[in-house]
Every structure is written in C-alpha cells, then in structure tokens.
C-alpha cells in the first residue's frame, strides 16, 4: 500500500510535538532544580531527545509514536545492518529542508533514500 503525504505529515507533527514537549518539560525541571537558563539548554535537550527518540524507537520497534498513529513502519532491507541504517535515517533528518522532501513525486523522503529504507503500512 502506498504511503500518503498525509501519513508523513501526521508522523512529523506527532513526533516533533513529542520531542518538543519532552525537551521543554525537562528544561523547565532542570531550570528549577539547577537554576540553569532555559534557552541555554533547550537546543541541546531537543537534539538529545531527537536522537534518542528516533534511534530507540525506530531501531527497537521500527515505529515512532507518529508512525504508530498512522499505522506505518520502517522496513529495513538489511536486518544485520539495522543500527547503522537507523543512524543514517536519524542523521539525514537534520539536513536543512529535509521535511520538504515529502513533496517529491514518489513521496520517498531523503532520510529513506539515504538509508535505503522504506516506510510501509502495517
């Protein structure tokens, strides 16, 4: 079954929301506990949560929470190299304008192309 742009958009919105809220809550807690400036740590926390969120969920389950909502899953062609492919997927998401790759004709995003993975319906 073909993955629709709306599935990709929902995945993105749900995942970004979870990463942002998690890092913001952690930043607020750290501010009150250690009296750290919020903006000093927010970017770093978001980066850490970003990597942990995608690496753990896509490596262990093949799905982020956003993908669970849309009933999609990452398909790894090489199961023996899954950790490396997951790392490439995660790093590729940091490419500027990468979210706009959803507009490509076959809806295969850059992080899928670069890691040689596919998003499939479950």
Q: What is the pLDDT of residues 23-79, one digit of tens each?
A: 999 988 888 888 777 777 888 899 999 999 999 999 999 999 999 999 999 999 888
Three-state SS for 75? Answer: strand
How many angstroms separate the CA atoms of 87 and 82, rounded?
A: 9
More confident residue, 44 or 19: 19
Three-state SS for 99? Answer: helix
pTM attached to this predicted model: 0.89
pLDDT at 107: 67
User: What Cα–Cα distance (Å) separates residue 108 from each residue in 3, 8, 18, 28, 99?
Assistant: 9, 10, 23, 37, 11
Q: What average pLDDT does the segment 83-110 reach? A: 87
Q: 14: burial class by Cβ within 10 Å (0-12, 13-18, 19+)?
A: middle
74 conformational bin, left if phi > 0, alpha if psi -120 to 50, beta if neither: beta
Show the tokens assigned to 62. Answer: 């093949």
């Amino acid at each position: 079954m073909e993955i629709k742009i709306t599935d990709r958009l929902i995945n993105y919105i749900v995942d970004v929301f979870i990463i942002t809220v998690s890092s913001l809550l952690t930043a607020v807690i750290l501010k009150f506990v250690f009296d750290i400036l919020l903006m000093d740590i927010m970017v770093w926390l978001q980066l850490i949560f970003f990597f942990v969120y995608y690496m753990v969920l896509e490596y262990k389950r093949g799905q982020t929470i956003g993908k669970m909502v849309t009933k999609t899953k990452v398909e790894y062609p090489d199961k023996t190299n899954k950790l490396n492919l997951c790392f490439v997927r995660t790093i590729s998401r940091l490419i500027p304008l990468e979210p706009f790759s959803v507009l490509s004709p076959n809806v295969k995003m850059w992080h899928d192309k670069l890691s040689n993975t596919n998003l499939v319906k479950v």
